[in-house]
Amino acid sequence: MNPLLDFSGLPRFDAVRPEHVTPAIRQLLDENRALIDALVTPETAATWDAFVQPMLDAGERLSRAWGIVGHLHSVNDVPPWREAYNAMLPEVSGFYADLGQNLALFAKFKRLAGSAEFPGLSPARKRIIENDLRDFRLSGAELPEEQKPRFKEIQEELSALGAKFSENVLDATNAHAEWIDSDADLDGLPADAKAAARAAAEKDGRQGWKFTLHAPSYIPVLQYCDNRELRARMYRAYATRASEFGPAERDNGPLIERLLALRHEEAQMLGYASFAEVSLATKMADTPAQVAAFQRDMAKKARPFAIRDVAELRDFARRELGMETLESWDLAWASEKLKQQRYSFSDDEVKQYFPEPKVLAGLFRVIESLFGVKLSPDIAPAWHPDVRFFRITRDNGGDGKLIGQFYLDLYARETKRGGAWMDEAITRRRLRAGVQTPVAYLNCNFPAPVGEGTQMRPATFSHDDVITLFHECGHGLHHLLTQVDELPVSGIHGVEWDAVELPSQFMENFCWEWDVLSAMTGHVDTCAPLPRALYDRMIAAKNFQSGLQILRQIEFGLFDLLLHSEFVPGGDARFMDLLATVRKEVAVLTPPEWNRFPHSFSHIFGGGYAAGYYSYKWAEVLSADAYEAFEEAAKTSGSTLDANTGERFWREILSVGGSRPALESFKAFRGRDPQPDALLRHNGMADLRTSVA
């Protein structure tokens, strides 16, 4: 049997090969098309059991198989898998485009929505049907027949361009390396970063040190290395990835222009003024103007703090570092020097207290304490030897009931796309044989252990890495702890995109709690726990340059929004001109003119965040407010790891998935509408809120 067609259990990563992709996906596409042809006939009643359920069953088989292919394209992007993925991408995109434009299907859904059966359906099933009707309209089902082929062409080309954009970023990242022969050129660089660079050089059969643009290699150089010329070279290489400054075949500039033009054309065909309006049709926010106002209000509040941050950094650089001018490649380095002087610790010092085994144990303790579950190692075939697998169970009278499972792929690799993300392998749903438990992929790009055999040192994570891990686990919990049995609204399915970051950002907060950190740290050499004095300095430094960090996120979010709402593709202005305008409005630090950040902005050009990057900040309001409930509980229980509040968070937020509007879920948990006060307080801005507003 083709392993991609085996849906009896977990993905068969030990057996699936690139040559399996085309025959399996084509078979599933043919099966889905044949089923749909049968479902739209008059003989098939417009009922849930006769019409909707068979389509969900067949659709899940296709999405599961194609999901495996897409996952391997992300984590094992070798030529055979890239070719196999790209070979079928147009056919898969075309199928979904046809599905969304099928008027007979649309009519049958409308018939079901108006039938006598509909009022008696469960709230989850009603929401599925309502979402489907909305999505049919957004997929062009109501377009004139003569326009539908063009709309389908747009969807197929958008899919191909998004995949190519991400591939170009990965290829450009892999293409650059800095080779250093003298140890003196690496003054200031932490020992583990040097060891990793030495190992990378040895792997390539060379002496010295090899540095790349992958985050575990690039970030330490920019943050710690005293060699300004090396920092400048690596910054320029990183900031110009996939742009006109490299090979033409990897230049994402033309792809961006084409993506924007196609999205604008799609919006016009659907009767919307802009693609941003199309994007917001499935989100909590109502209009681009509302989102722009939200972001500008946040920028207004953060700007005085950012101005203060920059003034302090420049003054410190002049007094202590003898630098009259700070370039972009100096900012992280000078900021680290200032942070060390002000708070008497470095990020590298903290990193030594976060070896991977302690971090994972601490993370699992948080999840187990909050939600009354048990996380245990499990066994499953994986795509790389470093990948681990775990199960989540919950005792109901001692039965240890399986709730879900997840793969954990922590380390950076040349064949793995950058960043961190959660994706689904299997989604919870109810079958005749019982409940199908969910399975998730959790992916990060952290530095791997260094050494061999008995000399192997465990990977150590920066505190930012720990926060990232908690963030992705929040997404994973949203998928894994769902109690909804209808697949289209189970887990993260059906959740408004600007609310989907709520559980992930919520989990980040625990990374600042003493009773959490003290139990999840142990020095990599001595096993000593994180000293309380060092923790206190970390807390004091928590909002170090928070104004700058907020403005950076607003810069990205506002650029994304205006790019998809006010920018006119193909006009006299270029997208880099718009970015310059946004920076003039909100930024207090401006990178060099040759910086090509948009060319690697995969969130909006290679992912699902187009006209939605604001979601991170929008959801931060929700997550900070939700976490405040745990802070309130801690006043009585003594810990934010409060099981009663955790149970309510599970019941009202995590368990319901997309079965009801996110705002209703939030209000069910907090008993009121969300408020921004907690977010301002968490960012150190509460005291000056009145004068800043």
Please state, in angstroms and as integers, the Cα–Cα distance from residue 463 to each residue in 18, 316, 354, 681, following that order. Answer: 38, 24, 8, 20
Please state, in angstroms and as integers, the Cα–Cα distance from residue 413 to each residue in 416, 425, 506, following that order. Answer: 5, 21, 28
The Cβ of residue 443 has, within 10 Å, a number of other Cβ atoms equal to: 22
CA dihedral 270, 272, 275, 278 (to 10 degrees): -70
Q: Is residue 422 a contact partner of residue 404, using CB atoms and an 8 Å limit?
A: no
Q: Which of 200, 210, 214 has the alpha carbon at shortest distance from 169?
A: 214
The C-alpha atoms of residue 514 and residue 516 are separated, in whole angstroms, by 5
Q: Is residue 355 a contact partner of residue 460, using CB atoms and an 8 Å limit?
A: yes
Q: Is residue 196 a contact partner of residue 216, using CB atoms and an 8 Å limit?
A: yes
- What value, to the nearest 5°, has the Cα angle with vertex 663 and ends 444 and 485? 65
Residues 6+ apart with CB under 8 A from 370: 641, 642, 643, 646, 649, 650
The Cβ of residue 651 has, within 10 Å, a number of other Cβ atoms equal to: 15
Q: What is the token pair recorded at 309?
A: 């941050």
Q: 472, 496, 555, 620: which is the annotated catalytic residue?
A: 472
Tell whether the torsion through CA atoms of 259, 261, 266 and 271 is positive or negative. positive
Q: Is residue 535 a contact partner of residue 517, using CB atoms and an 8 Å limit?
A: yes
Q: Which of 316, 389, 290, 356 has the alpha carbon at shortest distance from 522?
A: 356
Length of the chain: 693
472 is catalytic: yes
- Amino acid code (one letter) for 266: E
Label the pairing between strands 421-426 and 401-411. Answer: unpaired
Provide the 3-class DSSP secondary structure of residue 310.
helix
The C-alpha atoms of residue 480 and residue 475 are separated, in whole angstroms, by 9
- What value, to the nearest 5°, has the Cα angle with vertex 27 and ends 26 and 30? 85
- Amino acid code (one letter) for 142: E
Alpha helices in 481-574 (DSSP H): 502-508, 514-517, 532-540, 546-563
The Cβ of residue 457 has, within 10 Å, a number of other Cβ atoms equal to: 14
Q: What is the token pair recorded at 565?
A: 């709402």
- What value, to the nearest 5°, has the Cα angle with vertex 186 and ends 184 and 192? 130
Q: What are phi and psi of 528, to 5 degrees?
A: -65, 140
Q: What is the token pair recorded at 400?
A: 């240890």
The C-alpha atoms of residue 135 and residue 109 are separated, in whole angstroms, by 11
Q: What are phi and psi of 8, to 5 degrees?
A: -75, -15
> Catalytic site residues?
472
